[in-house]
Every structure is written in structure tokens, then in C-alpha cells.
Structure 1
Amino acid sequence: MFLGPGSHRVQGNTLILLVLRTGMQWRALKATGVCGPSSAYRRFREWLEAGVFWEFWRQGLLMYEALGGIDWEWLAVDGAQGKAPLGGEKTGPNPTDRGKKGSKRSVLCDGRGVPIGLVVGGANTKGHKLLRQTLESIPVPRPGSTSQQPQGLCLDAGYDYDEVRRVAEDFGLTLHVRPRDYRTREMERSAHKKARRWVVERAHSWHNRFRRILVRWEKREDTWLAMLHLACGVIAWFHRVLPE
């Protein structure tokens, strides 16, 4: 269990969350006087290898589903790019940052903005190339879409590709993509349809409040994913307490 009895586990939980929240380097933990940096990082790696952070996220989603229910009716996906000064696995030149090293996270959220799927790639990876992996990364069972209860997938114009339409069909999702054509967009605005894709922007905003995620310092893909899974878990567990 992630949260368990024993002072060593409490200290480990606290320090890992401290690193996630503040973005501080592991070696800076020495100043806390609670635990040595090597001990805290070793605990982090042990829990990573045991799948603790992914399980923490999964359990949070299960609790969220039990109490309020994941809003499967309207899903949204979008990618967010960030700096990765040290480079490493799943990084690449960031086209929005003068080609500097960067990483991208592709997030799937429910109708309230809670992250229910996540994968990473290089900053130069097109978002639609990560869509299938993002949908496959959901850690809890997804109910099937039916004519009585369809599941919509909201995407921006960067996903306006035939490949994306095939992926949506494979997953039984009704696709809602903002078209690239300007006149078509004006027609959509005049239809007074409710905006739904914005919740994924809120999901990225929640992630960015964890400063360890705002700038990627992990060279390894697995440690980077562990931090992201921990952040997703915190969001899911918090949202179950304060549903919208």
C-alpha cells in the first residue's frame, strides 16, 4: 500500500510528495533533516518497480467512480509540451521552444477533467500519433459505448486526421473534432453548442501545479511516468472528496 503504518513509510510518502509538489532536486532533501536523498530516491525506485504509483492512481479512480462516477459521456484528449533540460528517454526537439529538448504528455480526461489516461512522448511527436496509446492506458475498466449511452471524444483541430477517425471507431467513440476550416468553425460557434473540450486544459493546469512536472528533470521514462501517475492519483483522490 502507498499509505501505510510505520515512520519510514510516512517519511517516504511525505518526501516524495514534497519533490513532486515543489520540483526540488532529490539532493536538496538533505536540508530537511528527515531522510537522506539516497534513501528517499531508493524508496521511490522500489515503489516504482512495485507499481505503487500506477496502483495509487487506479485506486483513486475506482474510488472516484464509486462515489461520484467517472463521466464517460464526454471524454477529451490533448497534449502538453514541457521543457526537459537533461534530455533522456521519450524527449525530442520542442518546436515551440526553439528546438530545445522537451517532452510531451498526452492526457485523456473525463467530463470533469480528471485524468483517466496518460502516455508520454518526445515534444516533437504529433498528438494524434499518441491517441491510440492514450486510450489504451486507462487503468480502470471502460464501459462500452451504446446507442443509448454514447461516449464522445472531444479533440482540437490538430487531431483532424483519418487515422484519428479510425482509432475512434476502433474504440467505439463518437468523435467531435474542431475542424480546421475557418468558416466551418464559425458555423459551429453559431450553433450554440456547449463547450466540452476545455476540461482537458484544466487537467493540464492541475498537472502543472506540481512543479516537478512543469519541468521534466527525469532522464528515464519510467521515473517520469511514476511522477505523472502520482500526480494523476493525487488529482483523482482529491476530486473524490470535492466532486464538482
Structure 2
Amino acid sequence: MTGANINDCKRLDEVLSAIMVKRESPPSRRHKHLCADAGYRGADNARTIEKHDNIAHVVSRRKEADIKRRDPTKKARRWVVEVCHSWFNRLRKLLVRYEKLERSFVALNHLAAAIIAFRKVPLQVNIIYG
């Protein structure tokens, strides 16, 4: 764990080494794919990603915006952690920690996770009259 003022790309090797889920690699798919933003661009990060048998997908925001403009149905490929942070940042109460007690903050995080999961479930309106 590092301070909030340290860029994520500085600890890329440690993050990729700490992945707990080991997958069997079938012959047709030997590599894993890592979707990241432009902060992970650079020779050192490319070597680190290749060392861990990953294929890097680093797209700049401008190129991503052009792709989305051409086809609005395509979604941006993001690292799971970035997507999760984005979902939680939409809930403004959690963006800045105002709670003094840890249990209150943890409870709000659990509530936020439940709200996020509930929003992902496709709802079907089934109104029965009578």
C-alpha cells in the first residue's frame, strides 16, 4: 500500500505480481490483456507488462473519444480497478471521507456497493392489475 500521492504506474510490478488468481493458459490464448490509461505508457511499464505475459492496451483519451464518436455503442476498455473507482466516485458522499468512525465509513462503502450492484441488474417491470 502506498500513499495517495504516488502514481499507480510506479508500483505496476508489485500489483501484477500480487494477482492471486492463477489461470491456466489454453493454447489458443497464451496472453492476458491489461487495459490501462496513458499513464502506463513508457518503456519501463511496457517491459514490466511483457514480463508478466500481458498484452498492454493503452489508448489515449483523444483516440478513445474518436472511437466513441464513430460508434457510440462501444465502451472504453478499462482496468477493473479503474472502473470500480469510477463507480464509487459517482457517489459524492464517499468521494471525501467525512465520517469520523471507521465503521460508518465501511458501512457506507457496503451500501454503495449494494446500490452499484442493484443498478447493474436489468429490471423488468411486471405490473399485475386486479
| TM-score normalized with structure 2 length | 0.53
Aligned to 2:44: 163
- Aligned sequence identity (%): 29
* 2:83 aligned with 1:202: yes
Distance in 1 (CA, whole Å) between partners of 2:110 and 2:17 is 21
Q: 1:175 maps to which residue?
A: 56
Partners of 1:135 and 1:217 in 2: CA distance: 32
Q: 1:148-178 CA deviation, whole Å, 9 max, x = no partner? A: 2332101111110111111111211111012
Say if 2:97 is the partner of 1:215.
Answer: yes
Judging changes above 3 Å, is the alpha-carbon distance between structure 1 residues 165 and 215 closer, same or farther for their aligned structure 2 residues? same
Q: CA deviation at 1:136?
A: 2.7
Aligned mates of 1:127, 1:145 — CA distance in 2 = 27
Amino acid at match of 1:127: D
Residue 153 in structure 1 maps to residue 34 in structure 2 = yes
Between 1 and 2, higher relative CO (CA 8 Å, sep ≥ 6) is seen in 1
- 2:3 maps to what in 1? 121
User: Using a 3 Å threshold, how does the CA distance of structure 1 residues 155 and 198 change in structure 2: closer, same or farther?
Assistant: closer
Q: Secondary structure at the match of 2:86?
A: helix
Q: 1:172 to 1:141 in 2, by over 3 A?
A: same
Matched, 1:132 2:21: no
* RMSD between superposed Cα atoms in Å: 4.5
C-alpha spacing 1:216/1:145, structure 2 compared with 1 (3 Å): farther
Q: Which amino acid aligns with 1:175?
A: A
Instruction: Confirm or deny: 8 A CA contact 2:32 2:55 kept in the other structure.
Output: yes
- The residue type equivalent to 2:12 in the other structure is L
After superposition, the C-alpha distances for 1:169-213 in whole angstroms (9 at most, x for unaligned) are 12111110125xx9xx54994586752117544300344459567
Tell me which amino acid in the other structure corresponds to 2:38. A
User: Are residues 122 and 178 of structure 1, via their aligned partners in 2, closer, same or farther at CA, if it must alter by over 3 Å?
Assistant: same
Secondary structure of 1:120's counterpart equals coil
**In 2 relative to 1, CA 217–144 (structure 1 residues): closer, same or farther, beyond 3 Å?**
farther
Q: TM-score, normalising length from structure 1?
A: 0.32
Distance 1:144 1:128, change over 3 A: farther
In structure 2, list runs of 5 or more residues that go unmatched. 122-130
1:141 aligned counterpart, secondary structure: coil
